[in-house]
Amino acid sequence: MAEKVLMIALSPTMDSGLIARWHKGEGDRVEIGDVICEVETDKATMDYESTQEGVILKQLVKEGEKAGIGDTIAIIGEPGEDISALLDDDRPLSGAGLSETVHETMDSLKGTARDSETAIDQGSGKAGEIEGGRRIKASPLARRLAEEGGIPLDRIKGSGPDGRIVKADVEAYSAGLDNDTHMPAVDKAPAMQTVAKKPFDRQAAVDKAGVMPADKVRYVPVTGKRNIIASRLSESMYSAPHYYLTVSVVADNLIETRRHLNESTGSKVSYNALLIKYVAEALKRHPMVNASWLGDRIALFTSADIGLAVAQPDGLITPVVRDCGNKGILAIENELKDLIEKARNNSLLPEEYQGAGFTISNLGSYGIEQFTAIINPPASAILAVGAMKRTPVVDDDGQIAVKTIMKLTLSCDHRVIDGAVGAAFLKNLKDIIEDPLSALY
């Protein structure tokens, strides 16, 4: 019997996935455990393994398109089976998680039926409503946005199938953009001021002011990964009361330690591997820094699981090296290399980038001398590492000497880490970097 293949949550923060590649096409036989496609989540590209067996009778989501959790991406059954009932199944799928891209894909498969009276049972129940003397074709999401903004649908020109109004059309009209091109149209802005009931939109205000003419601006869609980054870091910044501590560290010993280690082992150890090990040693002495705020209690992590922020073309990710306090520098380096390679290839597994108790963000290679970083949940602290710079300083004897200075800034969640605790940790870390032997006593 034919069955739907549904989009499932391949990571805890995923609410939709993009089909990056189909491994099985229509007419191909599928066994349980076969990888049928690759799904790009908010963090990585994951293999989707089939839990069903049969032949792929229909692919409903094409490569490059998104599907919300619970949406049908394909239908599996036996050759010759009638799947019209499954294609015509109008039951709600994933609620708020259902992407409009999939709505449009399903609509094209079902023809115009969804825009007729048969669509009234869906969404807001008004998909075929008549306004201004004519029938208005609009997706449920577009209709809801229009109602919230006080926008008459008969003023909007739809860009969807058969002139159907979709979310982008409502947003474009609300922002004063041209309905055909979705580019700035300054002359439409005044009319919207009397209709729209939306909060201040900075981008729309800039467009309306004529600061960004149509030939001087290019719009790019917000990817799922960028959306998650924005959501998580905004939540962290505004829910966790951040404070910042900065120290200047003499890094000459760090440089010499790395040089000696590379020469004696014949390998190339990164500064990040050394810093991760030093941080792990400092966390042993200051367990409250290796903790997480849970509302009614504080979780103290017994393992130094340290994440390193790694840049990607469409965002960043923090691969995690586990149990760094019980690993040597070379073991950390080897593990870190593998994780960074996976991160750049979008192939990290969820357990390889989630659950860091402490995070390091190093922008020194970009020449950034000092910066502050936003805490990466569930951690309560993140260390921002600046560039090493040869600097004249006054030594303990009152003499001017040239030394390599590196600035470290610790961002702390004040709900968990008091100022004195954060300061003691940072001082201890500074001591270890300047004199690694201090970690032994």
Q: What is the per-residue burial (b if ≥16 Cβ within 10 Å, else e) of 259-277?
A: eebeeeeeeebbbbbbbbb
Q: What is the pLDDT along the chain (441 residues), one digit of tens a residue?
A: 788 999 888 776 677 888 988 999 999 999 988 889 988 887 778 888 888 889 999 999 999 888 888 889 999 999 888 888 888 664 434 433 334 444 443 343 333 333 333 333 343 334 345 554 556 777 767 787 787 777 888 888 887 766 778 777 787 777 665 555 544 444 443 333 334 445 556 556 555 555 566 667 777 777 777 777 787 888 888 889 999 999 999 999 999 999 999 999 888 999 999 999 999 999 999 999 999 999 899 999 999 999 999 988 778 889 999 999 999 999 999 999 999 999 888 888 888 998 999 999 999 999 999 999 999 988 999 999 999 999 999 988 889 999 999 999 999 999 999 999 999 999 999 999 999 888 877
Report the alpha-carbon distance of residue 250 to residue 339 in Å, rounded: 29
Report the alpha-carbon distance of residue 374 to residue 382 in Å, rounded: 7
**CB of 143 within 8 A of CB of 122?**
no
pLDDT one-digit tens code per residue, 145-176: 787 777 888 888 887 766 778 777 787 777 66
Reference 88, options 53, 69, 60; nearest CA is 60
Instruction: Give the predicted TM-score (pTM) of the model.
Output: 0.58
Question: Quick one: pLDDT at residue 202?
Answer: 55
111: its two tokens:
């023809």
Question: Quick one: pLDDT at residue 350?
Answer: 85
Element (H, E) at 379: none
pLDDT one-digit tens code per residue, 211-238: 566 667 777 777 777 777 787 888 888 8
The residues that bridge with 298 in the sheet, in sequence order, are: 293
Element (H, E) at 185: none
Helix axis angle for 140-149 and 100-110, nearest 10°, is: 130
Write the CB contacts of 23 (distance below 8 Å, at least 6 apart in sequence): 34, 35, 36, 37, 38
Please give the single-letter amino acid code of residue 113: A
**CB of 60 within 8 A of CB of 106?**
yes
Report the alpha-carbon distance of residue 267 to residue 272 in Å, rounded: 15
Residue 143 backbone class (left: φ over 0; alpha: ψ -120 to 50; beta: rest): alpha
**CB of 309 within 8 A of CB of 330?**
no
Question: Quick one: pLDDT at residue 122?
Answer: 40
**CB of 6 within 8 A of CB of 70?**
yes
Active site residues: 414, 418
The residues that bridge with 292 in the sheet, in sequence order, are: 299
**CB of 360 within 8 A of CB of 383?**
yes
DSSP state of 183: S
CA angle 276, 371, 259 (to 5 degrees): 40
Supply the DSSP string of 296-329, one letter for each residue: SSEEEPSS--EEE-EEETTEEE--EE--GGGS-H
Question: Quick one: pLDDT at residue 389?
Answer: 95
Q: How many CB atoms lie within 10 A of CB 195?
A: 14
Write the CB contacts of 276 (distance below 8 Å, at least 6 apart in sequence): 306, 308, 321, 324, 332, 336, 360
Reference 301, options 319, 284, 314, 317; nearest CA is 284
Question: Quick one: pLDDT at residue 300?
Answer: 95
Question: Quick one: pLDDT at residue 261?
Answer: 92
**CB of 139 within 8 A of CB of 111?**
no
CA distances from 400 to 221, 376, 389 (A): 53, 39, 16
CA angle 259, 318, 230 (to 5 degrees): 135
Write the CB contacts of 91 (distance below 8 Å, at least 6 apart in sequence): none
- Count the alpha carbons within 13 Å of 133 in the hemisphere toward its beta carbon: 0
Taken in order of first residue, the domains within the chain and their CATH numbers are 3-110 (2.40.50.100), 125-219 (4.10.320.10), 225-440 (3.30.559.10)
Question: Quick one: pLDDT at residue 356?
Answer: 93
Report the alpha-carbon distance of residue 249 to residue 407 in Å, rounded: 6
